[in-house]
């Protein structure tokens, strides 16, 4: 029997000797589990170890590698210290320990709390453990949130790292001190901008002088900060300068809570409205004067002019530089708008740069959409649509769209029925196995087959529902009619809604030397 050992360092235990060494906690787990495996005469396939991750984090790298290897049936047993080391989420307990692991032929064993999926009698105790761990996570999350909110309201800094230009006060927890070396750079940035220098120009000045950007500066100072992977990661960018010039912390005000997670189950932060921010004035020494701050604010207000329409650009957030991956910025020359890489001018040889007119990119995307229409749409449907394309919106035929909607609803109903049939077959297999009517191996194979069928129709059901939602969204409510398919494909011009719906992103490269051709790679949402 092959056993995979999984260890996880609890977030509370952070006493590490060096950045690369395992903690004593991890070492103890490994020793305990290796001894247990030897006693059971199990062959150890591999030790999977996640360091500094919570039990609610689903993005643990070794945890996900363990699951992938389990699916491939590379071992027979998963061995942990406790069930909570594997996960604290009841949902994952049910999904893997009680659901997929038995189907994959994987036994789950935790030593301390005696969880063992080969012992059918302790399933309820495993579920209770999962529920208790879930409650623990919720309570811990609420307690931490309450403490952090209180500290934010009182103006204490709670971040892992101080803002560039400051350092944490070793004598007063939550208090910031000026880091004079970085503060000089901050003052120069504000001064240059107040004198009329643009944000890209300021970034280039700093890069040409070899001044490290905030992330690289922290790393050079020996902080446990992620190692930059490329030269691009060490350079000052337009975005870094822009963020600095609007941060009130530099005038002595503590501003926190701009971002927050949706729940304790995810680390993904989402922006919060300004009304939910925590701002406390005069908590620390300012880096710049109030007069300089006001001058910069005035300059920013003059420079920040939205589109006349008040709407985002056609390819806003969709166009990327093919060389460095950064989102292209919009610029204007006369009446024409262009898209260019923000790294193009921040430093010598920083990026080859991407540059294209919005008009040209719009034409390329539209032509490719029309080509796809001609190639893939049903000829009869296309002919029917072409008859209506020249008509005003309110006069177009709704028959093709109505037919498509009807067909989709029928398919959704069928997929739902198929899911229920496979689910019922799966329940029957489990019952027959429990009664001893089916051998374990045969039951496992049937269960695998029925589960795969159920998941297949679930995917089809989800896709069909998403397609139906998109079609219904394109309904013109005022006229009580459906928008034709050609509105999405056969276009004389593009609008923002169509780009949002159809285009995932567009990679734009540098113009080919000796020609006017710009390489463009379109990634679609379909």
Task: Please state, in angstroms and rounded to a whole number, the distance separating the CA atoms of residues 55 and 30.
Answer: 17
Are the beta carbons of 150 and 160 closer than 8 angstroms?
no
Question: In this structure, are residues 106 and 68 in contact, taking their beta carbons and an 8 Å threshold?
Answer: no
Neighbours of 292 (CB within 10 A): 18
Question: What pLDDT, on a 0 to 100 scale, did the predictor assign at position 159?
Answer: 81
The closest of 88, 87, 94, 76 to 37, measured between CA atoms, is 76
Band of the pLDDT at 74, cuts 50, 70, 90? very high
Q: What is the pLDDT of residue 391?
A: 37
User: What confidence score (pLDDT) does residue 17 get?
Assistant: 42
Question: Where is pLDDT greater, at 437 or 454?
Answer: 454
* Residue 127 pLDDT greater than 70, yes or no: no
**Phi, psi at 52, each rounded to 5°:** 70, 45
Q: What is the pLDDT of residue 309?
A: 47
pLDDT at 449: 73
Stronger pLDDT, 86 or 389, i.e. the higher one:
86
List, in sequence order, the alpha helices (H) in 223-342.
238-244, 290-303
pLDDT at 64: 92
User: What is residue 288's predicted lDDT score, i.e. its pLDDT?
Assistant: 94
Report CA torsion sign: 207, 212, 214, 215.
Answer: positive
pLDDT computed for residue 121 by the predictor? 59
Query: Is residue 434 pLDDT above 80, yes or no?
Result: no
**Location of structure tokens 């006693």:** 39
For residue 310, the model assigns a pLDDT of 47
Q: For all residues of the chain together, what is the average pLDDT? A: 76
Q: Is the pLDDT of residue 318 over 80?
A: yes
CB contact at 8 A, 464 and 478: no
Average pLDDT over residues 336-349: 77
Which one, of 475, 407, 426, lies nearest residue 415 by Cα? 407
Of 53-62, 107-116, 220-229, 406-415, the range with the highest mean pLDDT is 107-116
% pLDDT > 70, the chain? 69
> What's the pLDDT at 78?
94
Domain boundaries, the chain: 2-150, 166-303, 378-488
Residue 75 pLDDT level (bands cut at 50, 70, 90) = very high
Check residues 7 and 89 and name the one with the higher pLDDT.
7
Best mean pLDDT range from 163-167, 263-267, 482-486: 163-167
The span from the CA of 150 to the CA of 144, in Å, is 10
DSSP code of residue 98: I
The reported pLDDT for the residue numbered 454 is: 72
More confident position, 356 or 12: 356
User: Mind listing the pLDDT tens digit for each residue in 4-27?
Assistant: 999 988 654 544 444 444 445 678
Please tell me which residue, 33 or 26, carries the higher pLDDT value. Answer: 33
Task: Report the pLDDT averaged over residues 430-442.
Answer: 64
Low-confidence winner among 9-13, 138-142, 307-311, 443-447 (lowest mean pLDDT): 307-311
166 bridge partner residues? 178
Position 306 pLDDT exceeds 60:
no
Cα(150)–Cα(361) distance, integer angstroms = 50
Residues 383-409, mean pLDDT to the nearest whole number: 54
DSSP single-letter state for residue 327: B
Q: What pLDDT is attached to residue 294?
A: 93
Q: Which residue is listed with tokens 């011009």?
A: 493
Least confident among 127-136, 211-220, 371-380, 480-489: 480-489
Task: Tell me the helices (H) and strands (E) count for the chain, helix number first.
Answer: 16, 19
**Comparing 212 with 54, which gets the higher pLDDT?**
212
Give residue 514's pLDDT.
75
Please state which of the four CATH numbers 3.10.170, 1.10.1060, 3.90.1170, 3.90.1750 is assigned to the domain occupying 166-303. 3.90.1750
C-beta separation of 69 from 4 below 8 A: yes
- Give yes or no for a contact between 254 and 279, defined as CB atoms under 8 angstroms apart: yes
pLDDT 10s digits, 492-524: 777 877 788 778 888 888 888 777 788 888 888
pLDDT at 486: 44
232's CB contacts (< 8 A; 6+ apart) are: 324, 343, 350, 351
pLDDT of residue 72: 92
Cα torsion 102, 106, 110, 116: sign? positive
pLDDT digits (tens, 9 = 90+) for 197-253: 888 889 888 988 889 999 889 888 887 665 555 555 778 888 889 899 999 999 999
pLDDT at 143: 63
Q: Which own/partner pairs from 369-373 qualify as long-range (CB within 8 Å, at least 24 positions apart)?
A: 369/489, 369/491, 369/502, 370/489, 370/490, 370/491, 372/489, 373/486, 373/489, 373/490
Q: Tell me what pLDDT residue 483 has.
A: 39
Q: Tell me which range, 111-125, 346-360, 454-468, 495-509, is most confidently predicted by mean pLDDT.
A: 495-509
* pLDDT category of residue 188 using cuts at 50, 70 and 90: very high
Q: Which of 36-40, 81-85, 221-225 has the lowest mean pLDDT?
A: 221-225
The architecture of the domain spanning 2-150 is 3-Layer(aba) Sandwich (3.40)
Give pLDDT, residue 65: 93
**Mean pLDDT across 474-482:** 43
**What is the arithmetic mean of pLDDT over 129-155?**
67
Q: Does pLDDT of 52 surpass 80?
A: no
């Amino acid at each position: 029997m092959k056993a995979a050992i999984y260890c996880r360092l609890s977030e509370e235990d952070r006493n590490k000797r060096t950045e690369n060494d395992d903690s004593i906690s991890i070492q103890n787990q490994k020793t305990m589990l290796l001894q247990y495996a030897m006693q059971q005469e199990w062959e150890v396939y591999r030790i999977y170890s996640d360091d500094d991750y919570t039990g609610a984090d689903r993005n643990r790298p070794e945890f996900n590698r363990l699951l992938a290897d389990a699916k491939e049936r590379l071992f027979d047993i998963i061995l942990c210290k406790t069930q909570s080391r594997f996960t604290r989420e009841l949902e994952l307990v049910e999904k893997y320990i009680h659901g997929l692991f038995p189907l994959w032929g994987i036994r789950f064993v935790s030593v301390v709390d005696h969880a063992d999926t080969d012992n059918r009698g302790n399933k309820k105790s495993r579920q209770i453990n999962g529920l208790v761990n879930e409650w623990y996570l919720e309570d811990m999350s609420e307690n931490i949130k309450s403490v952090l909110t209180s500290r934010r309201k009182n103006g204490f800094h709670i971040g892992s790292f101080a803002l560039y230009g400051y350092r944490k006060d070793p004598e007063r927890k939550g208090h910031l001190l000026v880091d004079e070396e970085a503060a000089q750079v901050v003052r120069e940035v504000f001064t240059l901008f107040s004198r009329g220098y643009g944000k890209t120009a300021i970034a280039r000045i700093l890069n040409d002088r070899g001044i490290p950007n905030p992330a690289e500066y922290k790393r050079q100072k020996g902080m446990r900060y992620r190692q930059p992977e490329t030269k691009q990661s060490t350079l000052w960018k337009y975005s870094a300068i822009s963020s600095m010039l609007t941060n009130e912390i530099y005038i002595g005000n503590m501003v926190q809570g701009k971002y927050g997670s949706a729940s304790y189950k995810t680390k993904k932060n989402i922006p919060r409205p300004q009304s939910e921010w925590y701002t406390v004035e005069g908590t620390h020494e300012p880096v710049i004067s109030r007069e300089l701050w006001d001058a910069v604010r005035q300059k920013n207000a003059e420079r920040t002019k939205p589109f006349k329409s008040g709407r985002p650009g056609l390819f806003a957030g969709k166009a990327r530089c093919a060389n460095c991956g950064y989102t292209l910025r919009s610029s204007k020359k006369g009446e024409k708008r262009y898209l260019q890489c923000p790294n193009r001018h921040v430093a010598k040889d920083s990026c080859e740069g991407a540059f294209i007119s919005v008009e040209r990119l719009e034409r390329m995307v539209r032509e490719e959409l029309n080509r796809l229409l001609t190639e893939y749409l049903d000829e009869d449907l296309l002919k029917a649509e072409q008859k209506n394309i020249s008509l005003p919106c309110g006069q177009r035929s709704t028959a093709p769209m109505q037919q498509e909607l009807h067909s989709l609803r029928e398919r959704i109903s069928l997929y739902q029925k198929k899911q229920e049939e496979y689910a019922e077959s799966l329940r029957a297999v489990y019952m027959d196995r429990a009664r001893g009517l089916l051998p374990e191996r045969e039951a496992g194979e049937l269960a695998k087959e029925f589960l795969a069928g159920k998941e297949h129709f679930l995917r089809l059901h989800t896709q069909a529902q998403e397609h139906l939602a998109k079609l219904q969204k394109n309904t013109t409510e005022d006229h009580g009619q459906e928008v034709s398919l050609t509105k999405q494909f056969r276009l004389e011009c593009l609008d923002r809604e169509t780009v949002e719906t159809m285009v995932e992103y567009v990679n734009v490269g540098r113009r080919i030397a000796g020609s006017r051709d710009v390489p463009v790679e379109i990634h679609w949402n379909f």
